[in-house]
């Protein structure tokens, strides 16, 4: 091998490299063709090997199919999803799928490792279970997906059953309440109670009116009594005047005991007449007016009580009308409530398979023809690349031997 310190002396003044390599020329298409023709068997060998490997791979590769199941999430009576899509996705991915795969592996002692993917399309209420595998395992994939879907359906069915029981209880209470409202015996008791109060109120008004008429009659009799008292007072005063005049004559003539006794009798009659006139005047000017005021007050109180009772009767009649209207409205509202509960029960929908587990019609993934075609292309490219690499290495070796013979 040549010492390192002698290498710089190999450089020439003509522009050659330090190792004496000639300047590099451009590679022409003819040169490439010559190389390919020269090493065509190498290209053919690499191409053949790659093609054989591709055919072997294609023959050994089993056709893969897609297995999928579509489940629709159920809704309660109010139209709300039983579980949000994210919750369903988490339950399937973290619980139901691992549990199903583990149970199958433990019960069948299968060396195969199955996989089930789950996704929820954006903005939808559908859950899609997907798997890929060969046709000979179709029954297993369909069984596993069905088992996963059944776990979700059973989970939601418990919720549906609970909601259904709640609606049935509400419906029973609503129907019982409707029966109470439609029971005329219950309504008649309330209606007759108000009607009885109204009748008693009207009777009291009539009684007050009769009492008012009596008071008005008594007031009119007071006028007659006043007139009679006036006449009696006038007569009594006239009689008193006559008696007083007779007493004056009797005083002048009272000369003996008999006439003196007559004078005493006249004095007694005068005193009696004066007392009677005073009593009549007291009754006329005081007692009669007091009686008039008393009757007026009683009549005013009677009329006020009539107005109050009439207002009470009016209120009771309004309550009776309201009772009837409310009763009809309550029946209508209760019937509407029953219809709403029945509608909720009718639209109550459990989670169910929208599409039963099934296999795709065509295989998925890379087909056998594609594998062979790719192998052929890769073999051709690999053969060409190998030819140029070998040619380059051969040229480099020859050139190195020309410049440095020891190589």
3-state secondary structure of 365: coil
Per-residue pLDDT, averaged over 114-130, amounts to 87
- Second CATH level (architecture) for the domain 64-181+347-359: 2-Layer Sandwich (3.30)
Residue with tokens 């006139």: 277
pTM above 0.85, yes or no: no
Per 3-state DSSP, what percentage of the chain is helix, strand, and coil (rounded to 5)? 75, 10, 15
Q: The dihedral of CA 184, 190, 192, 194: what is its sign? A: negative
Tell me what pLDDT residue 26 has. 56
Say how many CA atoms lie within 13 Å of 394 toward its Cβ: 9
Say how many CA atoms lie within 13 Å of 165 toward its Cβ: 5
69 neighbors 353 (Cβ within 8 angstroms): yes
Q: Any residues with CB less than 8 A from the CB of 369 and at least 6 apart, and which?
A: 58
On whether the 184-345 domain is CATH 3.90.1150.10, my answer is no
pLDDT in tens, 253-300: 655 666 667 667 777 777 777 787 788 778 778 888 888 888 889 889
- In the chain, pLDDT over 70 holds for what percent of residues? 82
Question: Does an H or E element contain 129, and which?
Answer: strand 126-134
Distance between CA atoms of residues 255 and 12, nearest Å: 212
The strand pairing partners of 81, in sequence order, are 75
What letter does residue 254 receive in the DSSP assignment? -
Tell me what pLDDT residue 3 has. 41
349 neighbors 50 (Cβ within 8 angstroms): no
pLDDT band for 78, please (50, 70, 90 cuts).
Answer: confident
Q: Is the pLDDT of residue 190 over 50?
A: yes
Mean pLDDT of the chain: 80
The two tokens of residue 212 are: 């008012």
Least confident piece of the model among 41-50, 127-136, 299-308, 337-346: 41-50
3-state secondary structure of 64: strand
Domain edges within the chain: 30-61+366-407, 64-181+347-359, 184-345
Per-residue pLDDT, averaged over 8-17, amounts to 41
Tell me what pLDDT residue 168 has. 93
Distance between CA atoms of residues 302 and 298, nearest Å: 6
């Amino acid at each position: 091998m040549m010492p390192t310190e002698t290498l710089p002396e190999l450089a020439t003044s003509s522009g050659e490299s330090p190792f004496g390599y000639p300047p590099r020329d451009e590679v022409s298409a003819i040169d490439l063709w010559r190389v390919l023709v020269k090493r065509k068997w190498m290209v053919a060998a690499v191409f053949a090997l790659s093609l054989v490997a591709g055919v072997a791979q294609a023959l050994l590769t089993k056709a893969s199919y897609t297995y999928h199941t579509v489940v629709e999430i159920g809704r309660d009576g109010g139209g709300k999803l039983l579980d949000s899509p994210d919750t369903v996705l988490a339950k399937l991915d973290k619980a139901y799928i691992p549990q199903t795969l583990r149970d199958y592996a433990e019960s069948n002692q299968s060396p195969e490792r199955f996989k089930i993917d789950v996704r929820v399309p954006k903005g939808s209420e559908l859950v899609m279970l997907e798997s890929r595998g060969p046709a000979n395992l179709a029954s297993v994939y369909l069984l596993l997906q069905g088992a996963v879907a059944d776990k979700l359906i059973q989970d939601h069915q418990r919720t549906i059953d609970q909601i259904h029981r709640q609606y049935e209880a509400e419906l029973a209470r609503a129907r019982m309440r409707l029966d109470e409202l439609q029971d005329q015996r219950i309504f008649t008791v309330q209606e007759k109670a108000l009607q009885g109060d109204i009748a008693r109120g009207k009777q009291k008004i009539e009684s007050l009116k009769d009492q008012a008429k009596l008071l008005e009659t008594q007031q009119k009799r007071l006028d007659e009594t006043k007139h009679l008292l006036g006449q009696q007072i006038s007569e009594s005063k006239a009689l008193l005047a006559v008696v007083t005049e007779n007493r004056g004559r009797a005083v002048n003539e009272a000369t003996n005991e008999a006439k003196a006794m007559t004078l005493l009798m006249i004095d007694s009659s005068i005193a009696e007449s004066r007392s009677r006139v005073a009593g009549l005047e007291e009754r006329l000017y005081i007692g009669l007016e007091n009686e008039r005021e008393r009757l007026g007050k009683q009549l005013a109180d009677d009329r006020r009580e009539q107005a109050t009772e009439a207002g009470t009767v009016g209120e009771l009649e309004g309550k009776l009308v309201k009772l009837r209207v409310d009763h009809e409205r309550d029946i209508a509202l209760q019937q509407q409530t029953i219809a709403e509960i029945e509608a909720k029960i009718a639209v109550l929908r459990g989670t169910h398979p929208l599409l039963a587990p099934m296999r795709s019609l065509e295989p998925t993934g890379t087909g056998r023809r594609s594998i062979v075609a790719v192998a052929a292309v890769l073999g051709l490219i690999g053969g060409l690349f190998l030819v140029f690499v070998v040619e380059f290495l051969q040229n480099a070796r020859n050139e190195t031997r020309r410049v440095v013979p020891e190589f």
